[in-house]
A and B are shown apart, each in its own frame.
Chain A
Amino acid sequence: MNNSLPVFAVNFIAALVLAPLLPGIINKVKAFFAGRKGPRLFQLYSDLGKLLKKECVISSTSGGILRIAPAIQLTLTVLAALLLPMGFKNSPLMFPGDVLLFFYLLGTCRFFSVLAALDTGSSFEGMGAAREAFFSALAEAAVFAVLAFLVLFSHSWTLSGMLTGIGMDSWISFTPVLLVSLAMLLVMLAENCRVPFDDPETHLELTMIHEAMILDYSGADLGAILYTSSLKLWIFGSFIVSMLIPGNILSGWQETALSIGGVFASAVLVGIVESSMARYRFLKVPPLLISALVLAIVAMIFQLFFNGGIR
């Protein structure tokens, strides 16, 4: 594939540029269901522009991690995005086992956000950090079950191989891929602090998870955090889209359009979920994450014992 690198590059740049659209799409969908007009589609771009012009106010109890955490998180997330196949084209940086690096880049990103939250010395942020650490540990189990399935399914050890290796035949044995996609959707909602796990719109500090951890950020730092979370949403959306849609059926640029459209569709789906249900109480979050794990394990069983489905 000679033309794979330019296609990847275009998709990667599209991800960086279009990521702030995703929260806009989700909010538009939510506004539609609520019968409201909602904020503009491009609202996050305006917010980022505004925040970049503002100065950062740093908590006087901070030991310094608060100051550097946003930059670290942004860098790690962009690096993780580089490892992900984009537009159904392999990442140029792929190597066997890169999937571990991919998830632990995101894990390190969370590590710094938790550390920075504790660094502020605020009781709200401490609570948010504790919740985030607990729930993400549970989400990790589901993620690795999904990965185990993908290795079984695609016989590949690279993230690109796993995701683009799901060819047309996956549509024939559709059940396990669908189960895993569902598991991944749950992980996506949890990792991106969406309903039913968390409520990104809430102003109630005591109920927050992720939002509580970013209460002390302002100015460009807050901009970096907001941008990073929109990029993370793109990464997870893109992950599911690559998994669900078989590659190599269309020409390069059509695939690009399909891939980007798929990510937008995943944002619409998130918006629909958020419009149709209430947030779960914390006690119900672990069972939900464990059910994601179970879905992935069931998919593995299908794959191992029924060779991809009961025929």
Chain B
Amino acid sequence: MMETKNFLLLGNGKSIPFASVPELPVAEFSKVCLTSITAEKCRIAAFFAVPEDDRFILTAILGDPAAAGFRVLKTVVKERYPSLTAHYPGFNRFEREIHELYGIVPEGHPALKPLRFVNTQVGDMEFYRMQGKAIHEVAVGPVHAGVIEPGHFRFECMGETVYSLEISLGYQHRGVEKLLQGGPDRRTGFLIETAAGDSSIAASINYCRIMESLCGIGLSDPAVKIRQIALELERCANHIGDLGALAGDVAFLPTASFCGRIRGEYLNMSADLCGNRFGRNFIIPGGCRYPVDQEKAKKITRKLQTVSRELWNALDLMFNSPTVLDRLENTGSVSLEDARSLGLVGVAARACGLDADARRDFPVAGEKTTGSLPVDNYNGDVISRAKVRYEELKKSHDFLFAALAEIPENGAVISQELTPAPDMLAVSVTEAWRGELCHAAVTGSDGKFRVLKIVDPSFHNWEGLAMALRNEEIAHFPICNKSFNLSYCGHDL
């Protein structure tokens, strides 16, 4: 841990006493945050308020790839502070969230609208509107035609061209973070896993890292490997589902049908590993709940060999089809500058050529990951987002075959009563299939969670989707949306 004047450096999955985080005056805090991001290539991992008596401690956790860790710093505010969004748009949703939860006003925020409608009727807000007779306003959702989550999209169009898209979410707000306060208790693990149910493994890995750090539990080497295997199976299943859905949206039948089935096979492999297709209730603090032995690993390897051949066939068909490429190329482009200033993460960021990858940037000691991929060949369009997924699938398969081959016997761990250390701050980031998923916990004097903050990759990326639709045909919205495939519930919490 390296100490500097303005901030403290914290490793991924590590914890420190909350009191030791440097507390800066508001102006100084803003300056350090903004220079870290704009000049020193940091990115926001989490930005949240911790209520304390009649004041609030604004805490910033900024990922610093150069230092392979997180810069943490805090400041104390009462009712208002100068907005950071005005200088760096990546803070937009974070500041709106804090405003909505605690009424703290970021002065000078360009569009201080409700985020999840915690206090008001959901969807009830002033939308951005264009004036003029030729303007065509299209409202989509919150109820959609497919079996997807609810969200409202407001397009301002002229003819077929979209000039502005405003995304209004909050329909899935369940108050997960509020329920997590006062934990850990018996429901905490379940809440964490289902905050965004398609990233259960990544979320439970994060939570367990935080708990292990706070409670001082060590983790066996096999358990680390098995968690990584589960994570990659989750990544594969979701990427395959996305690529298939993308093919479906451009009416390319073969890949759509095959991927739909093949995704199921990967979910079934997760079930082979731990008894649940989504990896629920498998990863617990201190290890894994169910034993994994070589016989199991061999069974999964065999299945993977068969299914992966079919997978490459189905995907190559799509990526070699001129009609598909024509639809996906130069559609829904997001520029590198926009990606950087919006603070995009994960697949969406890398597809814009923004080299943000938590696997390389924030490594955890003792964990071997798939590693990162070069991002130079992407230009931010739908095909780039599809190709990033394709390349990641290749990497994940290499990793899975290698990891499954050398899996040692690992016994089950039974969950036990755990008491986290009091007055600590712990941070964990995992590169989930969408992008970096961050969990940050602040414990009280009794060792209970004062705050357990979840920052889903979707929280960073929704604005990227809105940007992708600028000057794009409205008919391209579905494939743009699918190419991002962001989580509604992960955003709404």
- Min distance, Cβ B143 to any Cβ of chain A, angstroms: 11
The answer to whether the Cβ of B66 comes within 8 Å of any Cβ in the partner chain is: no
A278 to chain B, nearest CB (A): 4
Q: Which of these, B138, B257, B474, contacts A35 with CB under 8 Å? A: B257
Whether A206 contacts B254 in the complex (CB less than 8 A), given A123-B139, A124-B138, A284-B326, comes out as no
Q: Binary interface profile of B, 453-478, with partner A (CB < 8 Å = 1, else 0)?
A: 00000000000000000000111111
Across the interface, A203 reaches (CB within 8 A) one of B146, B254, B261, namely B146
Closest B-chain residue to A196, C-beta based? B323
The reply to whether A282 and B473 contact each other, CB–CB distance below 8 Å, is yes
CA distance A156 to B236 in the complex (A): 62
Instruction: Confirm or deny: A132 has a beta carbon within 8 angstroms of a beta carbon on chain B.
Output: no
Q: How large is the interface on B (under 10, 10 to 19, 20 to 34, 35 or more residues)?
A: 20 to 34
A209: nearest residue on chain B (CB-CB)? B475
Knowing A279-B327, A282-B473, say if A204 contacts B145 (CB, 8 Å).
yes
| A249 / chain B contacts, CB cutoff of 8 Å | none
Q: Which of A35, A126, A127 has the most CB of B within 10 A?
A: A127
Q: Establish whether residues B257 and A123, one from each chain, have CB atoms under 8 Å apart when the complex forms.
A: no
**Is the Cβ of A275 less than 8 Å from the Cβ of B474?**
no
Of all chain B residues, the one with the shortest Cβ separation from A200 is B251
User: Shortest CB–CB separation between residue A236 and chain B, in angstroms?
Assistant: 20
- Judge whether A280 and B145 touch: CB under 8 Å: no
Instruction: Annotate A190-205 by CB proximity to B: 1 below 8 A, 0 otherwise.
Output: 0000011001011111
Judging by beta carbons under 8 Å apart, are B257 and A278 in contact?
Answer: no
**Contact among B136, B249, B324, B477 for A123, CB-based, below 8 A:** B136
Total A-B residue contacts, Cβ distance less than 8 Å: 82
Query: CA A33 – CA B326 in complex, angstroms?
Result: 22
> By the criterion CB–CB under 8 Å, are B257 and A281 in contact?
no
Closest to B157 in A: A127
Please name all residues of chain A whose beta carbon is closer than 8 Å to the beta carbon of B477 when the two chains form the complex.
206
- The residues of A that contact B146 with a CB separation of less than 8 Å are 203-204
B250 close to A279 (CB less than 8 A): yes
A4 adjacent to chain B (CB < 8 Å): no
Given contacts A199-B251, A203-B145, A204-B249, contact A123 B138 (CB under 8 A): yes
Q: How far is the CA of A168 from the CA of B27 in the complex (A)?
A: 90
Interface size on A, residues (CB 8 A): 30
- Within the complex, the shortest CB–CB distance from A68 to chain B, in Å, comes to 27
Q: A281 with B251: in contact, given A124-B138, A203-B145, A205-B140 (CB under 8 Å)?
A: no
Per-residue CB contact flags for chain A residues 278-300 toward chain B (1 = under 8 Å, else 0) read 11111110000000000000000
Q: Are B137 and A202 in contact (CB under 8 A)?
A: no
Contacts of B261 in A (CB 8 A): 35
Q: Return B385 CB to nearest CB of chain A, in Å.
A: 17
A274 adjacent to chain B (CB < 8 Å): yes
B258 within 8 A of A: yes
Collect the chain B residues with CB atoms within 8 Å of residue A283's CB: 473
Chain A residue at smallest Cβ distance from B146: A203
Inter-chain CA distance A56–B440, complex, in Å, is 54
B251 and A279 form a contact (CB under 8 A): yes
Once the chains are docked, how many angstroms separate the CA of A81 from the CA of B477? 38
> CA–CA, A108 to B219, complex, Å?
74
Q: A35 contacts which chain B residues (CB < 8 A)?
A: 257-258, 261
Q: Considering the complex, which residues of chain B in the window 244-277 have a beta carbon less than 8 Å from any beta carbon of chain A?
A: 247, 249-254, 256-258, 261
Distance in Å: Cβ of B323 to nearest Cβ of chain A:
4
A124 partner residues in chain B, CB cutoff 8 A? 138
A304 within 8 A of B: no
Whether B377 sits at the interface, judged by CB under 8 Å, is: no
B3 beta carbon closer than 8 Å to chain A:
no
Docked CA distance A47–B252 (Å)? 25
Taking a contact as CB atoms under 8 Å apart, the answer to whether A278 and B145 are in contact is no
CB distance from B442 to the nearest CB of A (A): 43
Which residue from chain A places its CB closest to the CB of B147 in the assembled complex? A203
Q: Across the two chains, which residue of chain A brings its CB closest to B474?
A: A206
| Complex: A117 Cα to B153 Cα, angstroms | 22
Closest beta carbon of chain B to A168's beta carbon, Å: 37
Q: Which residues from A are CB-within-8-Å of B254? A: 33-34, 275-276
Q: Is the CB of B253 within 8 A of A127?
A: no
Q: How far is the CB of B302 from chain A (nearest CB, A)?
A: 22
Most chain A CB neighbours (cut-off 10 Å) among B145, B251, B258, B475: B251
CB A272 to nearest CB in B, in angstroms, measures 11
Q: Give every chain B residue within 8 A of A279 (Cβ-Cβ).
A: 250-252, 323, 327
CA distance A216 to B321 in the complex (A): 35
- Given the interface pairs A35-B258, A36-B257, A204-B145, the reply to whether A278 lies near B252 with Cβ below 8 Å is yes
Q: Is the CB of A205 within 8 A of B327?
A: no
Beyond A123-B136, A281-B476, 8 extra complex contacts between A and B, CB < 8 Å: A30-B253, A34-B257, A196-B323, A206-B138, A277-B323, A279-B251, A282-B473, A283-B473
Between A and B, 28 residue pairs with Cβ closer than 8 Å are A30-B253, A33-B254, A34-B254, A35-B257, A123-B137, A123-B138, A126-B136, A127-B136, A127-B138, A127-B160, A195-B251, A202-B251, A206-B138, A206-B475, A206-B478, A207-B475, A276-B254, A277-B321, A278-B247, A278-B251, A278-B323, A278-B326, A280-B326, A281-B326, A281-B331, A282-B160, A283-B473, A284-B326
